[in-house]
């Protein structure tokens, strides 16, 4: 019996230890998951040097419009462009009066992706330049697209797809979207490549999308921990310089692929962004308030005029009908407003709850936040859009 009891006790002890081990393991998994939720991949918070797009622009003509093009009498540039195009095709149109309304001058824009190869296609955006009403059904003629250096990198042509429309008559017009702008999917062919060699680089620069000292240091430490060498260092809040390790020589693509998947927790300064036109307020989680008292209220005087008609009794021989003025004046001194005290280190949620308890709208809240900042009690930067 004794041996059997010992075996049962040992089994219970092992079962308890297993339960404790499972509980600890679950807590560790939850902790790792919670910490990972606040982290971001390096590829989402930095730009790699050389991996960038370039803007292209061009001027062209759209033809085939159903009477919704530019007026040649007012859009002189459209007229001259049309005449020049016809002359290049062997047609002399200078001696004749041009009255067509089926042509429109447009600006063509596109973005040249990084490492684009010659012969590949990219999308272009077409926007009216003159007084054209609608580009629906138009066709863009061959238009060279140039970069900032003046060189031609692509040529665009094709039928324009317009998302909006315009319809109207003599008394009413209905417009949806922007019918004077459209896109051409795969409408440009790349004719020139941008020379850039990435494979043989001895170091790579990582540019932070939101410059910050703490984030730059965390990125460099994450890279060094991964490669096992002091290969990366933060030179400023916006740049991390990474040298190519010996085991990645000639394999820079593999290095970038491995580095951009590392996760770090980005840091940010406390900031309050205000858009006064729309009344939008965006506050970061690190916004804190020093001890301050807030009261919000205004004197409102409302004057209401309700004229009344006074007339004599029926069948009376005397008296006239008169309009008697009736004026009612109401004064609201904001007596229902309360004074709220915010303590030290108030969080974002407590700040919002405190201001909402005063019945404050977005526009009044903007004024209060600016007043708190002027009083030196708001530990954050205010950015007004």
| pLDDT, position 36 | 47
Do 348 and 378 form a contact (C-beta atoms < 8 A)? no
Give the Cα separation of 93 and 228 in Å (integer).
73
Give the Cα separation of 273 and 382 in Å (integer).
6
Alpha helices in the chain (DSSP H): 2-37, 76-88, 213-227, 252-260, 348-357, 362-374
| pLDDT, position 322 | 76
| pLDDT, position 267 | 85
For strands 271-275 and 381-384, give the pairing.
parallel
pLDDT of residue 10 exceeding 60, the answer is no
pTM of the model: 0.63
pLDDT one-digit tens code per residue, 158-183: 999 988 666 666 656 676 678 899 99
Helices (H) and strands (E) in the chain, counts: 6, 25
Do 237 and 203 form a contact (C-beta atoms < 8 A)? no
Radius of gyration of the chain (CA): 35
Give the Cα separation of 44 and 209 in Å (integer).
9
pLDDT one-digit tens code per residue, 372-382: 778 777 777 88
User: Among the listed ranges 7-11, 101-105, 238-242, which one has the minimum average pLDDT value?
Assistant: 7-11
Mean per-residue pLDDT for 67-71? 90
Give the Cα separation of 91 and 69 in Å (integer).
21
| pLDDT, position 22 | 52
Taking alpha carbons only, the member of 34, 100, 90 closest to residue 67 is: 100
Q: How many CB atoms lie within 10 A of CB 72?
A: 19
């Amino acid at each position: 019996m004794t041996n059997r009891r010992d075996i049962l006790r040992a089994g219970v002890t092992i079962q308890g230890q297993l339960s404790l081990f499972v509980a600890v393991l679950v807590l560790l998994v939850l902790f790792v998951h919670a910490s990972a939720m606040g982290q971001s991949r390096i590829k989402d918070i930095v730009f790699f040097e050389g991996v960038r797009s370039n803007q292209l622009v061009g001027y062209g003509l759209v033809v085939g419009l159903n009477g919704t093009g530019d007026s040649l009498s007012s859009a002189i540039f459209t007229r001259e462009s049309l005449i020049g195009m016809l002359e290049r095709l062997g047609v002399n149109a200078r001696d004749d009066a041009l009255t067509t309304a089926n042509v429109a001058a447009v600006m063509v824009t596109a973005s040249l992706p990084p490492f684009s190869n010659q012969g590949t296609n990219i999308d272009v955006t077409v926007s009216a330049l003159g007084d054209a009403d609608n580009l629906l059904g138009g066709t863009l003629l061959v238009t060279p697209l140039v970069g900032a250096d003046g060189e031609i990198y692509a040529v665009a042509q094709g039928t324009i797809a317009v998302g909006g429309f315009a319809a109207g008559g003599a008394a009413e017009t209905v417009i949806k979207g922007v019918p004077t702008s459209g896109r051409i999917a795969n409408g440009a062919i790349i004719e020139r490549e941008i020379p850039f060699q990435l494979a043989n680089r001895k170091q790579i620069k990582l540019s932070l999308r939101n410059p910050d000292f703490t984030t730059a240091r965390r990125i460099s430490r994450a890279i060094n921990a991964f490669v096992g060498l002091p290969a990366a260092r933060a030179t400023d809040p916006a740049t991390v310089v990474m040298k190519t390790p010996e085991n990645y020589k000639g394999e820079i693509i593999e290095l970038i692929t491995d580095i951009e998947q590392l996760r770090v927790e980005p840091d940010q300064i406390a900031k309050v962004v205000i858009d006064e036109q729309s009344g939008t307020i965006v506050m970061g989680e690190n916004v804190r308030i020093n001890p301050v008292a807030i009261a919000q209220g205004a004197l409102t005087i409302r004057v209401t005029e309700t004229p009344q008609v006074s007339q004599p009794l029926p069948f009376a021989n005397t008296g006239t009908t008169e309009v008697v003025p009736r004026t009612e004046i109401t004064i609201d001194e904001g007596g229902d407003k309360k004074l709220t005290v915010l303590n030290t280190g108030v969080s974002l949620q407590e700040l919002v709850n405190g201001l909402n308890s005063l019945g404050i709208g977005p526009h009044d809240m903007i004024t209060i936040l600016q007043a708190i900042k002027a009083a030196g009690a708001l530990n954050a930067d205010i950015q007004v859009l």
